[in-house]
Structure 1
Amino acid sequence: MLSIEEILKKEIVYKIDNMENVNVKKNMIYKEELLMDLYTPFAHGKSEKLPVVILIHGEAAAINFKESGQYISYGKLIAASGLNAVTFNHKVLSDGFSIKEVIDDIDALVNYLIENADNLNIDKDKIAIWSFSGGVPFGLYEGMHDCSNYIKCNIAYYGFGDLTSVKKLLNFNIQDEDVTKYSPISLIDENSSKIPPLFIARAGLDNSIINESIDKFIMKALKNNLTIDICNHSTGGHAFDLFNDNDRTREIITETLNFLKRNLK
């Protein structure tokens, strides 16, 4: 079994040319002492504002996620694919913070990018959210709760469609009223005509509580006729993009990049 240190060093199994030839502006303060990194394509014109993909990390206490191999390699992959990428650290439930505090950090990051779009050379009207694992309910919520014109699509990898399941599996001491209020599945009926396109990737061999949560979210999304792409990795476990080095993993990540390009064009 790998140690936490070894897991944090692992990069995604998918690679393309020129991933090392990207620009990275590191440790920008977006809120108080919280930091973000901006990955940009190496050769794009200075006057051209490109879309931006925000990568939302999962749950673990006292981890500098944006410096992990997973998020560094995703930042490079997205930039090498011709888009901007942002990795950042936000508060987590694992450190005892509330659901609202986590959401406030993500809101602050999105607002920072919008307000500083000219200085950062990004197209504020073409934002995508790509979230992972325990970060998925927060990423989905961010793209669904106000349905602004800024966020054009929302990607969720092997994560929860509701916060009830988060509480059940991870035993967090979070308030029931917050679980109900901020669960993304509860927003489908409310905002179904305005929710931007969704891409959901599930790991077939993942924890049953996680997959039941994903499946309920998918079924409700289909019932409400949302635009949704679904990829199942039948032999993949949690974090298949790190641990399942096979064709299906590469297919899913390729489809994800194509989804981004279609919706951010």
Structure 2
Amino acid sequence: MTEVPFFHDVEPVRRVRDEVMDVHYPDDSHAGPRPAVIFVHGGPVPEDMEPRPRDWEGFIRYGALVAASGLVGITFNHRLHSDELYPEASDDVAAVVERVRELEAVDSDRIALWFFSGGGPIGAAWLRAAPSWLRAVGFTYPVLAPPPDWPGDKPRFNTVEAVSEHPELPKLLVRVGKDFEFFVPSQDAFVQEARNAGADLEVIEIPHAEHGFEDHGADPEAREAVDRAVSWFVKKLAG
């Protein structure tokens, strides 16, 4: 099968791997602790899938994109292998966050989380907690609330309900024009709740892009939008 090129021509950077995560370093990482962006993949992802998400070309290149802007990029795998495993996946995210904050190359007071697709509900806890070191939270083509028939703790993973709790926390939503139909209502509701609360929310639209556009080849519209998103994270993590 022919490999589809990543939508952006960014080159991979120095990536240091351990049993839990990959750390994507900027060229000037020796200059001192840098802010970090932690990428939270979607799902469910079958447990036996190979490669695993942190080895997907998309996340390798996302790590490179933030590293090229002077940030540390973090990619890892969590346990969202079925819809019932959101609590376990959420625990994995929390453990990685603590691990990242202990890295010598990372400024522990300047951390951002960037959630993708089915990983969106995991963001609810972070919008509610909003620790002082969490400087920004982003979502790309996410689902943002569990479905009505989900058997788990729906309030815990309802990002729509959580968006108004700390309106001052910077939030980013990257939307695509050709998303999954059942993802769109929670995105609409998220934006409306944020607006009602006067929350700090930036919305970037990619009108002609599909869900998972990163693996669909070169796309100038998507590249411009993702460059804007990375610049947003750089700005929010500054200072």
Question: Do both proteins adopt the same fold according to a TM-score greater than 0.5, normalized to the shorter chain?
Answer: yes
Take 1:154 and 1:193, find their aligned partners in 2: how far apart are those partners? 12
Closer, same or farther in 2 for the Cα pair 1:110/1:44, shift >3 Å? closer
TM-superposed deviation, 1:106: 0.5
TM-superposed deviation, 1:199: 0.9
Report if the CA contact (8 A) 2:124-2:163 is conserved: no
Partner of 2:151 in structure 1? 175
**SS across alignment from 2:38:** strand
Q: Which of the numbers 172, 178, 190 marks the counterpart of 1:217? A: 190
Report if the CA contact (8 A) 2:113-2:137 is conserved: yes
Is the counterpart of residue 108 in structure 1 residue 130 in structure 2? no
Is the counterpart of residue 146 in structure 1 residue 120 in structure 2? no
Report if the CA contact (8 A) 1:23-1:39 is conserved: yes
Identity %: 23
Residue correspondence of structure 1 range 1-265 to structure 2 within 5 A: 10=4, 12-16=6-10, 19-20=11-12, 22-26=13-17, 28-29=18-19, 35-46=20-31, 48-59=32-43, 60-62=45-47, 63=49, 64-94=52-82, 97-114=84-101, 116-118=102-104, 121-138=105-122, 140-164=123-147, 174-176=150-152, 178-189=153-164, 191-194=165-168, 196-243=169-216, 245-265=218-238
Take 2:196 and 2:81, find their aligned partners in 1: how far apart are those partners? 31
TM-superposed deviation, 1:142: 4.5
TM-superposed deviation, 1:222: 0.8
TM-superposed deviation, 1:11: 5.4
Take 2:203 and 2:76, find their aligned partners in 1: how far apart are those partners? 26
Take 2:71 and 2:155, find their aligned partners in 1: how far apart are those partners? 35
TM-superposed deviation, 1:245: 2.9
Take 1:230 and 1:249, find their aligned partners in 2: how far apart are those partners? 14
Partner of 1:32 in structure 2? none
- Which one has the bigger helix percentage? 1
Take 1:113 and 1:71, find their aligned partners in 2: how far apart are those partners? 17
Report if the CA contact (8 A) 1:12-1:241 is conserved: yes
Structure 2 unaligned segments of length 5 or more: list them: none
- The size of the alignment, in residue pairs, is 234
Report if the CA contact (8 A) 2:108-2:133 is conserved: yes
TM-superposed deviation, 1:182: 2.1
Take 1:68 and 1:85, find their aligned partners in 2: how far apart are those partners? 14
Take 2:36 and 2:170, find their aligned partners in 1: how far apart are those partners? 16
TM-superposed deviation, 1:188: 2.8
Please provide the CA RMSD for this pair. 2.0
Take 1:180 and 1:109, find their aligned partners in 2: how far apart are those partners? 23
Take 1:142 and 1:126, find their aligned partners in 2: how far apart are those partners? 18
TM-superposed deviation, 1:83: 0.8
TM-superposed deviation, 1:180: 2.3
